[in-house]
């Protein structure tokens, strides 16, 4: 499937990222959410301190899959988690209240999570333009696999079947920004088991569905291929902001 799509190698991505001064960190295997949250916070705090002191920010893209977990953003409603915390634990699903924007979402195997820790000021971006850039990177990525993604007014993320009864979300976004430095990011459903979303009202929406690239294509996709394409699209879009470097 999709044998005509060019998939950049990890070596090519590293070369692209080095020209932009952004490190790519690809984590193999399922990552514990709590451990990665602590890691993100540590990097974020160091970057905020660097901005405060006029030093260069250590920019990084972290790409991974999480073990099953439900996360609630700053403005999330507890009622959008449809089962008790005890039942979540019984099913092996973590629960975290975190500092990103947005409501509630689910992470699990087969979902590509990307945490960009970047300096928006360096790239000439405001928060809204940054969110638009993240959405655009996903729209371009899934288009390369034959899926039409769109934006929906008043709802962040990337959607399929906009303005139809079958409108459904394929990618969730939630970010935190301080002193123009970012953490958290996006979650693209690649081969995700969508049953996990039955535990919640995804992003606080009761009437909208969720989907995955595998569901839209009718078969599982090569996860690493999707990951590498998304990394390429993100780097290309970031290269068009701030001071361009040849890619």
Tell me whether residue 247 is in a domain: no
Average pLDDT of every residue of the chain: 90
Tell me whether residue 227 is in a domain: yes
What percent of the chain shows pLDDT beyond 70?
94
Identify the active-site residue in 27, 171, 177, 203.
Answer: 203
Domain housing 228: 10-239
Tokens 């928060």: give the residue. 127
List the single range of 77-91, 155-169, 188-202 with lowest mean pLDDT. 77-91
Tell me whether residue 26 is in a domain: yes
Tell me whether residue 54 is in a domain: yes
pLDDT in tens, 87-140: 888 888 888 888 877 778 899 999 999 999 999 999 999 999 999 999 999 999
DSSP 161: S
Tell me whether residue 1 is in a domain: no
Confirm if 172 and 103 have CB atoms less than 8 A apart: no
pTM score of the predicted model:
0.92
User: What tokens were used for 192?
Assistant: 């995700």
Total domains present in the chain: 1
Tell me whether residue 245 is in a domain: no
Tell me whether residue 5 is in a domain: no
203 is catalytic: yes
**CB-count exposure of residue 182 (10 Å: 0-12, 13-18, 19+):** buried
Q: What CATH number is given to the structural domain containing 227?
A: 3.30.930.10
DSSP 81: B
CA angle, residues 116, 121, 123, in degrees to nearest 5: 65
Query: CA separation (Å) from 151 to 74, 99, 133, 209, 241?
Result: 22, 24, 12, 15, 21
User: What tokens were used for 72?
Assistant: 């609630």
Confirm if 206 and 113 have CB atoms less than 8 A apart: no
Specify which residues 10 forms β-bridges with. Answer: none
- Buried b vs exposed e over 5-19: b needs ≥16 C-beta within 10 Å? eeebeeeebeebbee
Tell me whether residue 32 is in a domain: yes
């Amino acid at each position: 499937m999709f044998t005509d799509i060019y998939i950049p190698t990890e070596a090519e991505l590293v070369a692209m990222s080095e020209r932009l001064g952004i490190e790519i960190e690809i984590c193999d295997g399922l990552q514990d959410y709590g451990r990665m949250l602590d890691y993100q916070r540590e990097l974020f705090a160091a970057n905020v301190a660097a901005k405060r002191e006029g030093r260069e920010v250590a920019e990084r893209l972290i790409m991974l899959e999480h073990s099953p977990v439900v996360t609630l953003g700053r403005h999330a409603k507890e009622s959008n988690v449809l089962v008790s915390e005890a039942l979540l634990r019984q099913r092996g699903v973590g629960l975290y209240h975190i500092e990103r924007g947005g409501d509630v979402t689910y992470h699990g195997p087969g979902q590509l999570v990307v945490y960009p820790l970047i300096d928006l000021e360096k790239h000439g971006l405001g928060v809204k333009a940054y969110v638009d850039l993240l959405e655009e990177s996903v729209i371009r990525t899934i288009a390369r696999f034959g899926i039409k993604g769109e934006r929906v007014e008043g709802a962040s993320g990337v959607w399929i079947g906009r303005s139809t009864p079958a409108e459904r979300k394929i990618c969730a976004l939630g970010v935190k920004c301080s002193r123009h430095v970012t953490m958290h990011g996006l979650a693209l459903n690649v081969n995700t088991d969508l049953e996990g979303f039955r535990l919640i009202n995804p992003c606080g929406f009761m009437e909208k569905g969720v989907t995955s690239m595998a569901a839209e294509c009718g078969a599982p996709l090569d996860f690493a291929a999707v990951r590498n394409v998304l990394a390429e699209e993100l780097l290309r879009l970031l290269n068009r902001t701030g001071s361009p470097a040849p890619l």
